[in-house]
């Protein structure tokens, strides 16, 4: 589970599951006994029921093998990690001057008022452990630090747990200062804990690669990992003792579960990279990751679907003037000149109003077609960029663009990553043609 | 999943052994885990769906189960500007009775706190939650937990009242550093956004006022910084 204690997987044994395709034998569609071959020649008898059943079983086995053997969408989940941690980090840094007013013990929403509300809804916030200003500053600092480290992918799994606790602590402390952007970050911070989002584009991935190279000559021992693991037990214990009665049980299970899993992963890796225990933990981590990624994608669809469906019921979205009104609200018009310019043109307002509803309602269905999906993603991201500036909602927009990015094609992300990585740090040799784009090294490097 | 390139095998970390590479016992554990994760994911998505969907046959029937599952950490609301965008500017204003250093009482004019927010937001690429959300959502909270006669509906109502008071007082204290705030009154002014120029709708131009009664300031209402006579210089 912890990506960081790993010397990388050993040789991959041949699968023993009777019906599974050998890995790498191509997509299920290329399998010779596909249930519905494109044009059955007259000499071949129609597929019998038993062969159909067998084909279905093979497909199911292939799918099960795939979701247990791979953490799907490594680049997409890395983008989620970088995007959400980055959004929250930027938000916290922006609010540093206002941090006490927003979340501090003596802000307008005082510590005691928060306590009364939380006594009823049982939301988690470490800020309720003490009403001292020092404690508040410490929690705020940890929230900032964990966001930065999660963004960089340093000890990703551990940071993702601290990041989640930081987000919950601040947001649940003052629930009346947040907006949609906070809501997205809140949910995604929880889901991210369950993903293996540090396998690429992270310090963990870089360390795993160097460790794997060094391990060829001499065994490499990770010292920071076990220490961090031991240290983490302290706040977890304190939290459990303090909040144990009121906090949601699943949150306790999640935190302690991740902690235990880290320890087991370390133990399994000590026994050697090829052991059965390590293989099983790897499979469990993949299952959890893929489930969480599915939930994240469905969550994004739910966001757009409900946003669109509710709009369809509104008269202003029907008569094509809806967009005009937010542009005239003082709280959502940081650039009144620009807003007025846009609001002055009835046809443009109509097109944007209808376009917004159409795109939002269509989004979940567009996922069924690659090309349509990609076009829609571009439209969505552009619209959010517009919202960021025009309505003054930069953090909401950044969070939504990150959420959209889970659906970006791997090829595009690799191209993007390649461009980011090829910014020359040392002089590029002139001979030998164009330098090959440096594809980021995967976390579990092969010897 | 159409979302991911099928060449995904070549990009990213190499696959592990998967369930096929495990012993019988390991396979059983993995299968149970797969089933459990699948079931929990489906139940979770179902619950969240019923939570965000309009009230319907199913969500009414499973009301309690949905709330138990979703609250407090998975609560969500994606109805920003829907079904209709807000079509009026709601400004929160306040005035105060101030005791000057010589003991004389004077009453300030109405101070438009929302306009101050608006001014802070204007020209900003990164508006702060303090300006964009605090007063706006705080007043929403107050309105949502009080009836027309300004009676609070239980705990939330009482909390919203002191929240708005403390927010208003901390801002007034910024403006009246010399005097002592004795009594304060709050009102909201709702002004409808004029219909678009191309529309034939009539504009409702008369603003609507909601005025709360004066209240005498106690130390309970004052955030720490203001209690010392000064606001905590953290505001820009």
B153 near B77, Cβ under 8 Å?
Answer: no
B40/chain A closest Cα distance in angstroms: 9
> Same domain, yes or no, for A186 and A279?
yes
CB contact under 8 A, B234 and A23: no
> Same domain, yes or no, for A294 and A328?
no
> Same domain, yes or no, for A359 and A276?
no
Encoding tokens for residue B121? Answer: 């937001």
> pLDDT by residue (tens digit) across B68-125?
999 999 999 998 898 999 999 999 999 999 998 888 899 999 999 999 999 999 999 9
> Same domain, yes or no, for A96 and A194?
yes
- Helix/strand/coil for A95: coil
Encoding tokens for residue A222? Answer: 């990770």
Phi-psi region of A47 (alpha: psi -120 to 50; beta: other; left: phi over 0): beta
> Same domain, yes or no, for A239 and A133?
yes
Interaxial angle between packed helices A156-173 and A224-243, expressed in degrees from 0 to 180 and rounded to the nearest 10: 30
Encoding tokens for residue A282? Answer: 């790897």
Residue appearing with tokens 């739910």: A302
Interaxial angle between packed helices A249-270 and A156-173, expressed in degrees from 0 to 180 and rounded to the nearest 10: 170
Burial class (CB in 10 A: 0-12, 13-18, 19+), A190: buried
The tally of CA atoms less than 13 A away on the side-chain side of residue B4 is 24
CB contact under 8 A, B85 and A122: no
Question: Which helix (H) or strand (E) segment is A160 a member of?
Answer: helix A156-173
Distances (CA, A) of B23 to A16, A277, B135: 9, 10, 60
CB contact under 8 A, B34 and A287: yes
Give the chain B residue whose CA is nearest to the CA of A282: B16
pLDDT at residue A445 is higher than 60: no
The number of helices, as runs of H, and strands, as runs of E, in chain A is 17, 0
Q: How far apart are CA B88 and CA B194, in angstroms?
A: 9
Query: Would you tell me how many other CB atoms lie within 10 Å of the CB of residue B229?
Result: 12
A385 located within any domain:
yes
Query: What is the average pLDDT score of chain B?
Result: 88
What is the interface pTM, i.e. ipTM, of the complex?
A: 0.91
Encoding tokens for residue B194? Answer: 């004029």
A341 located within any domain:
yes
- Which of A290, A310, A369, A397 would best serve as a mutation to test chain B binding (most B beta carbons within 10 A)? A310
Radius of gyration of chain A measured on its C-alpha atoms: 25
> Same domain, yes or no, for A292 and A239?
yes
Question: Which helix (H) or strand (E) segment is A144 a member of?
Answer: helix A133-152
> pLDDT by residue (tens digit) across B24-71?
999 999 999 999 999 999 999 999 999 999 899 999 999 999 999 999
CB contact under 8 A, A98 and B128: yes
A431 located within any domain:
no
Closest partner residue to A314 (CB to CB) among B84, B89, B156 is B84
A291 near B63, Cβ under 8 Å?
Answer: no
Q: How far apart are CA A234 and CA A238, in angstroms?
A: 6
Q: How far apart are CA A178 and CA B183, in angstroms?
A: 30
Q: How many domains is chain A partitioned into structurally?
A: 2
Q: Where are the domains of chain B?
A: 6-70, 88-227
> Same domain, yes or no, for A275 and A321?
no
What DSSP state is assigned to residue A31?
S
Closest partner residue to B5 (CB to CB) among A286, A287, A409 is A409
Give residue A425's pLDDT band: very low, low, confident or very high (50, 70, 90): low
> Same domain, yes or no, for A142 and A243?
yes
Is the link from the previous residue into B72 a cis peptide, with omega within 30 of 0?
Answer: yes
In 3D space, the residue among B183, B208, B187 whose CA is nearest the CA of residue B112 turns out to be B187
CA angle A126, A127, A130 (to 5 degrees): 105
A425 near A190, Cβ under 8 Å?
Answer: no
A358 located within any domain:
yes
B235 near B182, Cβ under 8 Å?
Answer: no
What are phi and psi for residue B211, nearest 5 degrees? -115, 125
Give residue B226's pLDDT band: very low, low, confident or very high (50, 70, 90): very low
Closest partner residue to B129 (CB to CB) among A102, A369, A409 is A102
Phi-psi region of A8 (alpha: psi -120 to 50; beta: other; left: phi over 0): left
Q: How far apart are CA A445 and CA A440, in angstroms?
A: 11
pLDDT at residue A23 is higher than 60: no
A382/chain B closest Cα distance in angstroms: 17
B16 near A279, Cβ under 8 Å?
Answer: yes
Structural domain of residue A336, as residue ranges?
A: 304-414
In 3D space, the residue among A264, A98, A113, A91 whose CA is nearest the CA of residue A167 turns out to be A91
A40/chain B closest Cα distance in angstroms: 26
A93 located within any domain:
yes
> Same domain, yes or no, for A395 and A255?
no
pLDDT at residue A32 is higher than 50: no
**Bridge partner residues of B184 (DSSP):** B96, B215
A432 located within any domain:
no
> Same domain, yes or no, for A152 and A292?
yes
pLDDT at residue A181 is higher than 50: yes
> pLDDT by residue (tens digit) across A377-415?
999 999 999 999 999 999 999 999 999 999 999 999 999
> pLDDT by residue (tens digit) across A319-372?
999 999 999 999 999 999 999 999 999 999 999 999 999 999 999 999 999 999
Distances (CA, A) of A244 to A126, A193, A253, A260: 12, 20, 11, 18
């Amino acid at each position: 589970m912890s990506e960081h204690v790993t010397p990388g997987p050993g040789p991959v044994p041949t699968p023993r599951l009777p019906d599974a395709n050998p890995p790498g034998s191509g997509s299920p569609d290329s399998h010779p006994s596909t249930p519905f071959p494109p044009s059955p020649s007259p000499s071949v008898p129609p597929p019998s029921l038993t062969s159909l059943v067998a084909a279905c079983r093979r497909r199911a086995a292939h799918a099960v093998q795939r979701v247990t053997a791979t953490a799907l969408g490594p680049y997409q989940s890395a983008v989620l990690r970088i995007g959400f941690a980055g959004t929250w980090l930027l938000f916290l840094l922006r609010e540093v001057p206002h941090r006490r007013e927003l979340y501090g013990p003596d802000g307008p929403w005082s510590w005691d008022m928060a306590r009364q509300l939380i006594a009823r809804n049982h939301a988690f916030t470490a800020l309720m452990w003490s009403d001292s200003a020092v404690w508040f500053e410490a929690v705020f600092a940890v929230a900032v630090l964990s966001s930065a480290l999660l963004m960089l992918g340093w000890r990703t799994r551990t940071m993702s747990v601290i990041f989640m606790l930081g987000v919950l602590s601040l947001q649940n402390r003052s629930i009346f200062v947040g907006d949609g952007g906070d809501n997205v970050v809140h949910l995604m911070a929880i889901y991210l804990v369950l993903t293996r989002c540090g396998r690429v584009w992270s310090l963990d991935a870089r360390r795993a690669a160097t460790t794997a190279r060094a391990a060829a000559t001499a065994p490499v021992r990770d010292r920071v990992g076990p220490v961090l693991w031991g240290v983490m037990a302290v706040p977890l214990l304190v939290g459990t003792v303090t909040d144990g009665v009121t906090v949601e049980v699943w949150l306790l299970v999640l935190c302690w579960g991740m902690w235990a899993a880290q320890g087991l992963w370390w133990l399994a890796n000590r026994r050697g990279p090829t052991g059965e225990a390590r293989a099983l933990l790897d499979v469990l981590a993949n299952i959890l990751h893929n489930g969480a990624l599915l939930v994240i994608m469905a969550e994004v669809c739910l966001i757009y679907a409900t946003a669109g469906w509710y709009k369809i019921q509104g008269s202003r979205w029907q008569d094509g003037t809806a967009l005009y009104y937010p542009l005239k609200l003082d709280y959502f018009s940081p650039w009144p000149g620009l807003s007025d310019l846009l609001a002055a043109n009835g046809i443009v307002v109509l097109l944007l109003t209808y376009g917004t509803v159409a795109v939002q309602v269509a989004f979940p269905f567009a996922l069924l077609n690659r090309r349509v999906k990609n076009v829609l993603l571009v439209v969505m991201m552009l619209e959010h960029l517009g919202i960021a500036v025009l309505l003054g909602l930069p953090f909401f927009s950044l969070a939504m663009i990150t959420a959209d990015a889970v659906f970006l094609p791997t090829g595009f992300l690799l191209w993007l990553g390649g461009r980011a990585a090829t910014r020359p740090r040392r002089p590029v040799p002139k001979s030998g043609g164009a330098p090959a784009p440096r594809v980021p090294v995967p976390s579990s490097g092969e010897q | 999943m159409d979302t991911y390139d099928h060449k995904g095998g070549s990009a990213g970390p190499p696959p592990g052994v998967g369930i096929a590479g495990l012993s019988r016992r390991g396979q059983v554990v993995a299968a149970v885990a797969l089933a459990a994760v699948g079931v929990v994911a489906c139940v979770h998505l179902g619950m969240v769906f019923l939570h965000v969907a309009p009230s319907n046959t199913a969500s009414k029937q499973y009301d309690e189960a949905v709330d138990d599952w979703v609250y407090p950490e998975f609560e969500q609301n994606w109805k920003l500007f829907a079904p209709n965008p807000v079509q009026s500017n709601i400004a929160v204003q306040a005035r105060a009775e101030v005791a000057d250093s010589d003991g004389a009482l004077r009453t300030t004019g109405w101070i438009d706190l929302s306009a101050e927010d608006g001014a802070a937001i204007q020209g900003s690429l990164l508006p702060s939650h303090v300006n964009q959300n605090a007063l706006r959502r705080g007043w929403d909270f107050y309105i949502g937990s009080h009836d027309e006669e300004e009676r609070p509906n239980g705990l939330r109502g009482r909390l919203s009242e002191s929240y708005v008071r403390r927010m208003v007082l901390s801002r007034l204290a910024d403006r009246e550093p010399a005097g002592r705030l004795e009594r304060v009154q709050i009102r909201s002014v709702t002004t409808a956004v004029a219909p678009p120029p191309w529309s034939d709708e009539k504009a409702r131009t008369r603003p609507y006022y909601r005025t709360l009664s004066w209240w005498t300031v106690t130390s309970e209402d004052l955030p720490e910084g203001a209690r010392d006579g000064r606001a905590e210089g953290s505001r820009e």
